[in-house]
């Protein structure tokens, strides 16, 4: 049983303003596994105040000073990898191999990327007589979700630190352990007092006052579209910058020259990874109508191979994060059946042999049409929908017919053809044959959000642009 009773404010482990706590439930056991201090507006005030006081000095540091800090953080992060992984497994159910592998690696990847960018970034450029300067935007409020907790903390904190900003982080109340260890890592690396602050708590108690705070210059949020809208609304009166990384219902267009069995198998494994709790999950697979039955069979075989169970063991899928999430996924699976999609594998209820824990059967629906609820709503569980198309134009229309626009993939052997389709997709992160790049900008069109994270584009979200006219008269 973990207990975290302090926040990290102004370089010290600070007692909260009041004694309220919240409990964390281990989704594999459904038992309480931790108690964490629950913050309030008074804690946000103290943390923002600490960040404001630290800002002038941190903003004025050289890039070399900031790189040195990031390198020290990298060393500490490496030392705490096992602690981070164990925390992730406990708080959100990621299987040990995933938690200690990709989940922790993503955080390290964003740290390495922040260092690389800072090493080469041009903060100033001349345009005629004018000097254009990129300056840190100020105090940042960072609000993160539970599904890839470290990835989302890292992709905000490291570029913000690199840019010269100070910040207050509020991790998800469903996954607060990794956030607390993350703060210990920064403390261990000697982050200057007030540059990084941590306040734990829920959306209304901490997230809302942080986004509304007049002392916060920018809010970076990742989570649901619902909360993203609330944050923007609360931030509006103080006209701060708001970046939102929200939900998705991303298409995966399998072209007719793609190796069907290999692509479908790979796509099932990737979607089901992290129990489908990935904002950019390719949850709508599009195949030519003629290949629907073969795709369904390949997906069934791939899903049947995935082991589900205790995430501390050697399994492909752990539980989903919470009872609420479990219920929502069950209701959507039921809806898919009721609306007439073909259930290929999986379905409602827990996988055989599991009587406790929020475990969901890896589920595949075929013959899905894009008007069905399971093709429109983000399920955020291990549920794949397969839709048929007649020709490329129709595939592109279906792919773009969504309220979201976060990610997409185009699978195909002919690169020119795949490229042409990728250009027509209205989404922010479009991969060809599942490519990956830490430097590519990540973010969404439409209800998937505003702004970009990752790489140089993410870094620039933490900068203001200043023009000094007449700086260098001829
Ligand atoms: P959530 O929106 O419920 O919570 C996310 C964070 O926002 C939490 O820290 C929460 O406490 C806080 N919050 C909630 N209401 C708030 C409010 N009114 N004001 C301020 N803060 C508030 O989302 P979740 O359930 O934790 O995460 C799942 C969602 O996140 C999914 O919809 C998923 O698609 C999305 N997501 C998006 C990305 C992306 O990069 N686009 C990445 C991961 C997750």
pLDDT tens track for 221-246: 999 999 999 999 999 999 999 999 99
Q: Is the pLDDT of residue 134 over 90?
A: yes
Distance between alpha carbon 454 and the CA centroid of its chain, in Å? 11
For the CA of 442, the closest atom of ligand 1 is 40
pLDDT tens track for 373-400: 999 999 999 999 999 999 999 999 999 9
From CA 182, how far away is CA 110, in angstroms rounded? 14
Average pLDDT, the chain: 97
Mean pLDDT confidence for 196-212: 98
pLDDT-based confidence at 450, cuts 50/70/90? Answer: very high
CA atoms within 13 A on the CB side of 163: 29
Percent of the chain whose pLDDT exceeds 90: 100
Cβ contact 387:336 at 8 Å = no
pLDDT tens track for 140-185: 999 999 999 999 999 999 999 999 999 999 999 999 999 999 999 9
Residue 96's CB: how many other CB atoms inside 10 A?
18
Q: Is the pLDDT of residue 474 over 90?
A: no
pLDDT of 285 reads 98
pLDDT tens track for 83-92: 999 999 999 9
From CA 309, how far away is CA 29, in angstroms rounded? 11
For the CA of 226, the closest atom of ligand 1 is 2
| Substitution candidate for ligand 1 out of 198, 227, 234, 246 with most atoms within 8 A of CB | 227
> Active-site residue among 165, 279, 378, 460?
279
**Residue 145 alpha carbon to ligand 1 centre in Å:** 5
Q: Is 135 a catalytic residue?
A: no
pLDDT of 418 reads 98
pLDDT of 377 reads 97
pLDDT of 3 reads 97
**Residue 146 alpha carbon to ligand 1 centre in Å:** 8
For the CA of 174, the closest atom of ligand 1 is 26
Q: Is 33 a catalytic residue?
A: no
**Residue 228 alpha carbon to ligand 1 centre in Å:** 7
pLDDT-based confidence at 278, cuts 50/70/90? Answer: very high
pLDDT of 282 reads 97
**Residue 252 alpha carbon to ligand 1 centre in Å:** 24
Mean pLDDT confidence for 237-256: 97
- Residue found under tokens 């069905």: 372
- Strand 12-14 vs strand 383-389: parallel, antiparallel, or unpaired? unpaired
Mean pLDDT confidence for 12-16: 97
Q: Is the pLDDT of residue 408 over 90?
A: yes
pLDDT of 221 reads 98
What are the backbone dihedrals phi and psi of residue 132, each rounded to the nearest 5 degrees, phi first? -110, 125
pLDDT-based confidence at 299, cuts 50/70/90? Answer: very high
For the CA of 223, the closest atom of ligand 1 is 30
Mean pLDDT confidence for 357-361: 98
| Substitution candidate for ligand 1 out of 182, 201, 224 with most atoms within 8 A of CB | 224
Mean pLDDT confidence for 438-457: 95
> Active-site residue among 90, 91, 230, 245?
245
Q: Is the pLDDT of residue 297 over 90?
A: yes
**What is the DSSP-derived secondary structure letter of residue 274?**
G
Cβ contact 327:320 at 8 Å = no
pLDDT of 348 reads 98
What are the backbone dihedrals phi and psi of residue 392, each rounded to the nearest 5 degrees, phi first? -60, -40
**Residue 144 alpha carbon to ligand 1 centre in Å:** 6
pLDDT of 256 reads 96
The pocket around ligand 1, CB under 6 angstroms, is made up of 143-147, 152, 170, 172-173, 202-204, 207-208, 211, 222-224, 227, 230-231, 245-248, 279, 378, 380, 406, 444, 449
**Residue 110 alpha carbon to ligand 1 centre in Å:** 20
* CA 156 vs CA 65, 69, 151: distances in Å: 19, 16, 9
């Amino acid at each position: 049983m973990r207990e975290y009773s302090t926040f990290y404010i102004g370089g010290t482990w600070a007692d909260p303003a009041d004694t309220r706590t919240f409990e964390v439930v281990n989704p594999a056991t459904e038992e309480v596994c931790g108690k964490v201090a629950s913050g309030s507006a008074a804690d946000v005030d103290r943390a923002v105040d600490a960040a404001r006081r630290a800002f002038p000095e941190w903003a004025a540091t050289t890039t070399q000073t900031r790189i040195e800090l990031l390198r020290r953080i990298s060393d500490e992060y490496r030392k705490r990898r096992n602690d981070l992984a164990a925390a992730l497994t406990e708080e959100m159910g990621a299987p040990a191999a995933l938690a200690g592998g990709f989940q922790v690696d993503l955080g390290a990847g964003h740290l390495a990327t922040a260092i690389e960018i800072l090493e080469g970034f041009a903060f100033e450029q001349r345009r005629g007589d004018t000097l254009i300067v990129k300056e840190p935007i100020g105090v940042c409020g960072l609000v993160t979700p539970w599904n890839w907790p470290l990835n989302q903390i890292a992709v905000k904190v490291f570029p913000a630190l690199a840019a010269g900003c100070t910040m207050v982080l509020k991790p998800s109340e469903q996954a607060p352990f990794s956030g607390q260890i993350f703060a210990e890592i920064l403390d261990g690396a000697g982050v200057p007092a007030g540059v990084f602050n941590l306040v734990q708590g829920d959306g209304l108690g901490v997230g809302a006052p942080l986004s509304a705070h007049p002392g916060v210059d920018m809010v970076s949020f990742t989570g649901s579209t619902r909360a993203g809208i609330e944050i923007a609304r609360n931030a509006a009166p103080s006209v701060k910058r708001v970046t939102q990384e929200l939900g998705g219902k991303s298409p995966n267009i399998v072209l007719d020259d793609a190796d069907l069995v290999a692509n479908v198998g790979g796509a099932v494994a990737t979607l089901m990874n992290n129990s489908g709790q990935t904002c950019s999950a390719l949850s709508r697979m599009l195949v030519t109508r003629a290949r629907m039955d073969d795709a369904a069979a390949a997906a069934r075989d791939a899903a049947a191979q995935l082991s589900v169970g205790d995430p501390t063991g050697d399994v492909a899928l752990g539980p989903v994060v919470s009872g609420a999430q479990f219920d929502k996924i069950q209701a959507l699976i039921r809806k898919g059946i009721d609306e007439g999609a073909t259930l290929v594998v999986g379905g409602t209820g827990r996988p055989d042999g599991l009587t406790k824990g929020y475990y969901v059967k890896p589920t595949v629906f075929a013959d899905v049409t894009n008007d069905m609820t399971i093709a429109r709503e983000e399920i955020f569980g291990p549920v794949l929908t397969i839709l048929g198309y007649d020709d490329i134009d129709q595939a592109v229309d279906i792919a773009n017919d969504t309220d979201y626009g976060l990610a997409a993939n185009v699978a195909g052997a002919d690169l020119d053809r795949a490229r042409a389709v990728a250009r027509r997709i209205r989404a922010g992160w479009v991969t060809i044959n599942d490519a990956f790049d830490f430097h590519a900008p990540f973010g969404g069109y439409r209800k998937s959000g505003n702004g970009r994270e990752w790489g140089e584009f993410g870094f620039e979200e933490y900068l203001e642009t200043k023009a000094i006219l007449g700086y260098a008269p001829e």
